[in-house]
């Protein structure tokens, strides 16, 4: 969960139960807001920003509980609700609540059962905008492009998605390997279960075992509580092992055993746990070369490489740039309300760049441009110098400086609309001010710069509320 969004609401009539849940949640880094009287829930909601989930417990009889549930859903249809199942209180959740809630948890809370629920909340929030509305799943798992390499990848994803085969995705860093993995998951029969990613190269070797398999309390220094690993979090779903080529040899042995036997033990435990998990791995390393140099196990490679998919580098599919840029700008507009568009000259220039950072580098560039020129039209002169192709710049027509600047900065109409009169007045004021600054405040000279009569400019300045500073040479 993000640090700025960690508030949860507990609606429960029992102070003992509320304090029990709040204590555990606060220990895990959440801010718990307790509501003892269910009738007061809406006033507390209205005063609290950034609520990420509701824990709904005893609210009277079953009829009252259903009524509160429906009221919360009416208030915010996208707010995740977790139901409390207290054995001391005989509560029956009807089908509407079972379907409409994220999950139910038992009292007293147990960390090993709470962690999967929190994982479901994380996954739910990954697919939502800040206001809770569903993010476009086509954008969320987009594999945009019409080039032959991408069409081939899409066909392979469609063929393997609904099987149980292990998949190995190969390609340069930033080329979109996780996007392929998510496509496989969301097109499979496991789509309603968790998709759990882990970057094997970003976690120190001595901690990776605990991250994958979990650990028991006291298993090692710092293990202050029992913790689930990624295999348990992904139960019934897909585990994405990113940068598998960076995994240490001892961990490769342990992973191979799990893939062979479909069982594992947490660190510090001898209890065997069955793993019903689909494995998708990815690497930017040539694993066959790594095998030759003794850095990767050949038997693990063949376990993972049941169905290989090669993700092309962006430099090999630059014809997809316009569609990728369209997807990325649309996503920014969905998520932040700020959109941009690029001229054909800018796109042509980007098409001649080598893109060592692949799609990730392109996404970073589009985000940077949206910050610099919100709702603007981006021309080749606006993009950073290293992305500017010299032949594109040489072929651009030379235009009057002000006219060129107006064309390059011409804004797009945002989805929220604009007050056209105020917007035009703002543009006029800005250009008049520039003309006056360049003319040392001499209105007659500024009028020539703007190709209008002096009296017309004076009248326009009066209407816009701009101060008139005549120079002595005008008298």
Whether 30 and 162 share a structural domain: no
Whether 225 and 88 share a structural domain: no
| 375 has a pLDDT exceeding 60 | yes
Tally the domains of the chain: 4
Residue 87 tokens, joined: 């054995």
pLDDT digits (tens, 9 = 90+) for 242-255: 999 999 999 999 99
Q: What is the reported pLDDT for 313?
A: 94
- What does pLDDT average to over the chain? 82
Are 375 and 341 in contact by the 8 Å Cβ rule? The answer is no
SS3 161: coil
SS3 130: coil
pLDDT digits (tens, 9 = 90+) for 461-475: 888 888 665 443 343
> Which of 311, 345, 370 is the endpoint of a domain?
311
Pick the residue with more confidence: 198 or 448?
A: 198
> Which of 277, 311, 345 is the endpoint of a domain?
311
Distance CA 374, CA 390 (A): 26
Whether 77 and 104 share a structural domain: yes
| Upper half-sphere CA count for residue 29 (Cβ side, 13 Å) | 7
Q: What is the reported pLDDT for 406?
A: 45
Whether 64 and 87 share a structural domain: yes
| 232 has a pLDDT exceeding 50 | yes
Residue with tokens 């003992």: 16
pLDDT digits (tens, 9 = 90+) for 187-225: 899 988 889 999 998 888 888 998 999 888 887 877 777
Angle 321-336/358-372 helices, nearest 10 degrees? Answer: 50
User: For the purposes of burial, counting CB atoms within 10 Å of the CB of 136, is it exposed (0-12), middle (13-18) or buried (19 or more)?
Assistant: middle
Domain carrying residue 404: 315-409
Q: What is the reported pLDDT for 413?
A: 60
- Asked if residue 149 belongs to a domain, the reply is no
- Tell me the longest C-alpha to C-alpha distance in the chain: 98
Nearest-CA neighbor of 68 among 154, 149, 9, 6? 9
Whether 182 and 216 share a structural domain: yes
Whether 179 and 303 share a structural domain: yes
Share of the chain above pLDDT 90, in %: 31
Whether 77 and 122 share a structural domain: yes
| 285 has a pLDDT exceeding 90 | yes
Q: What is the reported pLDDT for 137?
A: 42
CB count within 10 Å of CB 157 equals 22
CATH at residue 83: 3.40.50.2300
Residue 336 tokens, joined: 């932040």
CATH at residue 435: 1.10.10.60
User: For the purposes of burial, counting CB atoms within 10 Å of the CB of 72, is it exposed (0-12), middle (13-18) or buried (19 or more)?
Assistant: buried
Ranking 63-72, 99-108, 302-311, 369-378 by mean pLDDT, the lowest is 99-108
Pick the residue with more confidence: 65 or 315?
A: 315
Whether 362 and 464 share a structural domain: no
């Amino acid at each position: 969960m993000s640090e700025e969004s960690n508030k949860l609401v507990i609606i429960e009539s029992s102070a003992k139960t509320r304090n029990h849940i709040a204590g555990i949640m606060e220990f895990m880094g959440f801010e718990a807001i307790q509501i003892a009287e269910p009738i007061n829930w809406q006033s507390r909601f209205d005063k609290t920003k950034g609520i990420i989930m509701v824990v709904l417990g005893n609210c009277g009889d079953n009829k009252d509980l259903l009524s509160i549930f429906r009221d919360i859903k009416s208030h915010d249809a996208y707010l995740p609700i977790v139901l409390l199942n207290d054995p001391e209180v005989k509560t029956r959740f009807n089908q509407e609540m079972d379907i409409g809630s994220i999950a139910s948890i038992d009292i007293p809370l147990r960390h090993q059962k709470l962690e999967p629920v929190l994982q479901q909340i994380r996954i739910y929030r990954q697919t939502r905008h800040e206001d809770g509305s569903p993010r476009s799943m086509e954008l969320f798992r987009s594999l945009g492009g019409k080039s032959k390499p991408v069409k081939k990848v899409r066909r392979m994803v469609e063929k393997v998605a609904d099987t149980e085969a292990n998949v190995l995705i190969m390609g340069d860093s930033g080329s979109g390997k996780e996007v392929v993995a998510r496509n496989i998951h969301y097109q499979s029969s496991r789509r309603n279960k968790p998709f759990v990613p882990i970057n094997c190269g970003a976690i120190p070797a001595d901690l990776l075992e605990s991250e994958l398999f979990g650990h028991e309390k006291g298993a090692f220094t710092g293990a202050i509580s029992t913790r689930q690993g990624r295999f348990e979090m992904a139960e019934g779903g897909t585990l994405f092992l990113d940068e598998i080529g960076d995994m240490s040899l001892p961990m490769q042995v342990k992973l191979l055993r799990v893939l062979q036997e479909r069982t594992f033990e947490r660190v510090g435990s001898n209890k065997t746990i069955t793993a019903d998990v689909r494995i998708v791995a990815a690497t930017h390393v040539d694993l066959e070369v790594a095998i030759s140099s003794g850095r990767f196990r050949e038997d693990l490679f063949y376990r993972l490489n049941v169905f290989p998919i090669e993700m092309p580098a962006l430099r090999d599919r630059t014809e997809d740039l316009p569609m990728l840029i369209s997807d990325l700008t649309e996503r920014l507009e969905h998520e932040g309300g700020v959109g941009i568009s690029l001229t054909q000259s800018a796109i042509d220039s980007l098409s001649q760049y080598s893109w060592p950072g692949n799609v990730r580098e392109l996404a970073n560039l589009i985000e940077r441009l949206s910050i610099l020129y919100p709702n603007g039209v981006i021309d080749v002169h606006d993009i950073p110098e290293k992305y500017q192709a010299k032949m594109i710049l040489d072929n651009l027509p030379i235009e009057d400086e002000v006219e060129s600047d107006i064309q390059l900065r011409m804004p797009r109409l945002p989805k929220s609309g604009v007050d056209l009169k105020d917007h035009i007045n703002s543009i006029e004021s800005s250009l008049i001010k520039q003309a006056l600054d360049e003319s040392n405040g001499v209105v007659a000279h500024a009028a020539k710069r703007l190709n209008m009569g002096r009296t017309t400019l004076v009248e326009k300045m009066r209407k816009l509320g701009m101060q008139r500073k005549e120079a002595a040479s005008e008298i």
